[in-house]
Structure 1
Amino acid sequence: MAIKLEMLRTFRVVAEQGALADAADLLGRTPSAVSMTLARLEENIGAPLFETDRKNRLTRLGEMILEEAVRATDVFDSSMGAIRRLTASTAGTVRIAAVPSIIATLLPGAIARFRFAHPEVRLEISDLDSASVRRRIRLDEADIGILSAAVDEPGEGVTVAADRLGIVYRTDGPIARALAEGEGAPSWSLLALEPLISNPLCSMVESPVVARLLEACNLEARNTTALLSFVREGLGATVLPEGAVPILGSAIGFVRPDDPPTRRALRMICRADRKLGPAAQAFWDVLL
């Protein structure tokens, strides 16, 4: 008799619950049926998976097989989810994970055009930092991701837009006063007037001033909402893209230094090993 996915799933639930009765309740089966499935699995393997009949402690072999059971059932569940989305054809759900600036600028128009052509499709939008967008795509928790990257950075995705990076500051703080009193083009050196609130975009700025401030920085945030809250509370200044300007709100200013001018690309990504479903592909084409 071959080892079946049902056996591995049953074994995983029993191992994770640590009790046969609890596992049976979770699986919607009787304890005797669960016990019989485990017995068939152990018969196929040729060795016990649990050290006692109470099923609360795994053997060393059981621990290793549990890792494989988790991997196998997770892959199967992920594939079933993908199949369900594909069989939904254009009438389904498209999951989009994007950085906040794209949600405030490019995405609303794309959504309006898409909904006009596909009113039956549900759109789920997540507001995340770039690292979280990548993670959602990798774990198949989003169909399409839109993230920030350096303009000259090779590799992933398709560039759909680009904009300038700049300094975000309180309009009644030291940077605002220096801008009001100063002459000439704004400089990244303005960041030295206030504590730096770092985020991954800061590393794109090729300025020795920013590099030095990053080394000494003791406050970091990756979420745009958190960054803006910190700036609004007077905790310092940070670097954000020009696309974030519409969501800055009151009491916060934005300036683009020219020493050097720094651009970031907005890139659209998806799983390279999995074809987009019809609805997701249609939204991808709209964004392009």
Structure 2
Amino acid sequence: MKTGLLEAFRIIMQTGTVAGAADALGRSQSAVSRMLDRLEEELQIKLFERRKGRVLPTPEAHALIEDVERAFISLNDLKTRAQQVRDGHESNLTIAVLPALGIQFLPRVVGRFSRRNPEIGVTSHVLTSQSVEQWVARHQVELGLAETPFRRSGFETWAFIDEPYVLAVNSEHRLAQLDLVRPNDLKGEKMIQWTSIVAARRLLDELLQHAGVTVKCTAETSMSSAMVAMVRENLGVALIDPITALLTRDPQVAIRRFQPELPCRIARMMPQKDYQREVVDAFLGCAEEERDALLALRDW
């Protein structure tokens, strides 16, 4: 299958019209329509419904677009790699990490690593834990950091972080007066929740249900840093990972221990294939140093 057909599909998904895709590709609308027809024929899937000059993606199109986007990211990575080889910079590390580590922790690790290894480039992707797992299993990256448990195989794993989640509360909230918060303390409280794809959401829901505690969900998100910002706005309390708690210190947000402890277990993952083990090990060494330095600052 020619990449041009997939590119046409990708741009149509982005623009929502054949005309928009034609402008982006520098082709006629009829040529783009023929490309779309050919792709549907090759895949034996109907990708769009045509209505009044617009194309409406089918459920099948939505199911395929993530894989197509991932393929184009890999293609772009290949082009970048080729450029590095042409320029004489043959070493490059590709990694994928979950948002809890990707927003603030990862840049610190990359900085530490790059100061020691200025000749090695780093390409990073911030993805959900499920996507990190998928990318490592498919050998699209050399290193992944994601929350367990995993659903796939085909990679090696080691523990990277095994620490309890902590509770973030507005500094003026009544719970800020406690050193330790328990489920019963949350009865009737407004709470900023994880989305259902995050393992911690299921753990907390089960814990609260077992304790007979009902909370008022005011918002859902998959980002600890967003939770901290919402706590600052007094939208509710939130259970967040310890790394984000340490990296987003805010005088308006208090961090409290929560019991029973809910474990935040993040593993490092490497594909089961030949890869730049020395480079990966060097990067992991920097990540472990940064992790240990942060965890030493815990004051809860």
TM-score class, shorter-chain normalisation, is 0.5 to 0.7
Find the aligned partners of 2:244 and 2:73 in 1 and give their Cα distance: 37
The answer for the alignment partner of 1:256 in structure 2 is 257
Q: How far did 1:13 drift?
A: 6.1
Contact 2:186–2:215 (CA under 8 A) maintained in structure 1: no
Equivalent position amino acid for 1:194 in 2: E
Secondary structure class of the residue paired with 1:269: strand
The answer for the alignment partner of 1:50 in structure 2 is none
Find the aligned partners of 1:73 and 1:224 in 2 and give their Cα distance: 25
Q: How far did 1:59 drift?
A: 9.6
Give 1:21-36 correspondences, 5 Å limit: 22=22, 26=26
Does 2:81 match 1:85? yes
Does 2:159 match 1:164? no
Indicate how the Cα distance of structure 1 residues 282 and 54 shifts in structure 2: closer, same or farther if over 3 A, else same: closer
Structure with higher RCO (Cα < 8 A, 6+ apart): 1
Q: How far did 1:278 drift?
A: 6.3
Find the aligned partners of 1:24 and 1:196 in 2 and give their Cα distance: 44
Contact 1:144–1:280 (CA under 8 A) maintained in structure 2: no
Does 2:189 match 1:190? no
Cα deviation, 1:107-136, whole Å, max 9, x if unaligned, reads 73x545533441122334555553564466
Q: CA RMSD in A?
A: 4.8
Find the aligned partners of 2:5 and 2:124 in 1 and give their Cα distance: 36
Identity of aligned pairs, percent? 15
Does 2:65 match 1:64? no
Contact 1:130–1:147 (CA under 8 A) maintained in structure 2: yes
- How many pairs does the alignment contain? 247
Find the aligned partners of 1:215 and 1:84 in 2 and give their Cα distance: 48
Gaps spanning 5+ residues in structure 2: where? 46-63, 289-300
Secondary structure class of the residue paired with 1:244: helix
**Which one has a bigger Cα radius of gyration?**
1
User: When the two structures are superposed, what TM-score results if normalisation uses the length of structure 1?
Assistant: 0.61
Cα deviation, 1:256-281, whole Å, max 9, x if unaligned, reads 123x22222121234x4765456853
Q: How far did 1:101 drift?
A: 4.8
User: When the two structures are superposed, what TM-score results if normalisation uses the length of structure 2?
Assistant: 0.59
Q: How far did 1:242 drift?
A: 2.4
Contact 1:143–1:280 (CA under 8 A) maintained in structure 2: no
Q: Identify the structure with the greater strand proportion.
A: 2
The answer for the alignment partner of 1:267 in structure 2 is 267
The answer for the alignment partner of 2:146 in structure 1 is 147
Equivalent position amino acid for 2:42 in 1: I
Gaps spanning 5+ residues in structure 1: where? 32-52
Cα deviation, 1:151-199, whole Å, max 9, x if unaligned, reads x99977321121111211111013224x28xxxx531322225211111
Q: How far did 1:202 drift?
A: 3.4
Does 2:280 match 1:281? yes
The answer for the alignment partner of 1:238 in structure 2 is 238
Secondary structure class of the residue paired with 1:220: strand
Contact 1:197–1:219 (CA under 8 A) maintained in structure 2: yes
Does 2:202 match 1:203? yes
Q: How far did 1:106 drift?
A: 8.1
Contact 2:6–2:39 (CA under 8 A) maintained in structure 1: no
Find the aligned partners of 1:170 and 1:190 in 2 and give their Cα distance: 15
Secondary structure class of the residue paired with 1:163: strand
Cα deviation, 1:28-62, whole Å, max 9, x if unaligned, reads xxx9xxxxxxxxxxxxxxxxxxxxx8773689776
Equivalent position amino acid for 1:203 in 2: R
Secondary structure class of the residue paired with 2:219: coil
Give 1:109-128 correspondences, 5 Å limit: 110-111=109-110, 114-125=113-124
